[in-house]
Amino acid sequence: MHAVILAGGGGTRLWPLSRPDLPKPFLPLVGDRTLLQQTWDRIVPSVVGAADVAVVTDRRYEALVRRQLPDLEPGMLLAEPAGRNTAAAVAFALAALDRPGDDVMIVLPADHLVADEDGFRALLVGAERLASTTAADGGPGLLVTLGIAPDGPETGYGYIVSGETIPGASPAHAVTRFVEKPTADAAERLLAGPAPVAWNAGIFVWRRDALRAAFAAGAPDIVKAVEEAVAGGDEALDAAYRRVRATSIDHAVLEPAAAAGRVAMLRADVGWSDLGSWSALRDALASRGVTGRGPHRDLGSSRTLVLAGDRPVVTIGLSDVIIVDAGDVILVASGEASQQVKAVAEDWAAGRRP
């Protein structure tokens, strides 16, 4: 078994700390270790050895990855010429890593939080067993995804809709379809419906030959372009990434595989968060008894997060407020509206500033 960590993305919803030159995976948002380092710690050496971990990242972040993961083998850092979403990144790992077809691959985002790490590792072991089995038709095994047990009608996540329990693999369920981020009403209907649903965390376990077959069925253009480019060297990779379509592994591969009965889900109740907004980070830190960082003092506030810089911050009587001092800019936002910071981050990156 080997693991592939996807360390890309701009993390614009955590601006102004997360910037294009230092995005979310490389920040120590929860504890002293960065999110990338915590992802590594979660699986090495308890699930896989250090030599069995690859990291796919943008070329801009090669030095960051090497500095933060000194035990990463040199040949296991796979640098993309540009971000093309997760389908191309996974296809890159599939093509670049020389492993047997029946070897099991774990795919993990680099920027998530897992509170119950022992429970998470146990799920990965169970997913490996499920993915290792041969399908009823004699083909490679199932593509396995971890579905997060939902605690409400969240609109910031995609959903996995599952069906019957897989015989002999309880509590695994066959996946019937994936739903992109729904409206609040649609999310409530999903939770109230008869089919078990879960949040889509983008964590996958599969045999390499099963993944290749799923790519061939659902996204042959992506896997063919990337495989040919890897064989041709850096110039060929640059050319391929200029034309390969940008789409998620969920949409390109898993949706058609689910329609063909090739996807299974294990439900995960492990204290997971994608830390996808300031309010999500606030709640994650609050669960650990943390209400802020840096020089700050509060009198009578609630559900408030303060990340101070060099200047002291004093808060009095606030409710549901996020304050982030990044040195060159200070963010003050309500937790309810913190998702909207993405639009400000995009304006800032484009030079549209106060």
- Domains annotated on the chain, with CATH: 2-273 (3.90.550.10), 278-349 (no CATH)
* Residues in the chain with pLDDT values less than 50: none
pLDDT recorded at residue 78: 97
CA-to-CA dists, residue 146 to 46, 254, 314, angstroms = 18, 13, 41
What pLDDT shows up at residue 291? 86
pLDDT for the residue 75: 93
Predicted structure pTM score: 0.94
* Distance of alpha carbon 127 from alpha carbon 148, whole angstroms: 14
User: What integer pLDDT is reported at residue 137 of this predicted model?
Assistant: 61
CB 80 within 8 A of CB 241: yes
What are the pLDDT digits (tens) for 228-238?
999 998 899 99
Q: Which one-letter DSSP state was computed for residue 195?
A: S
The CA-based angle 251-164-265, given to 5 degrees, is 45
**pLDDT for position 77:** 98
Which helix H or strand E contains 258, and what residues bound it?
A: helix 255-259
Per-residue model confidence (pLDDT) at position 181: 86
Average of per-residue pLDDT values in the chain: 92
Q: What is the pLDDT of residue 151?
A: 85
For 135-172, the pLDDT digits (tens) are 656 667 899 999 998 988 888 889 999 988 887 656 88
The predicted pLDDT at position 180 comes to 87
Residue 163: per-residue pLDDT: 86
Distance CA 292, CA 318 (A): 14
Taking Cα atoms as reference points, which of 272, 283, 105, 122 lies closest to residue 199?
A: 272
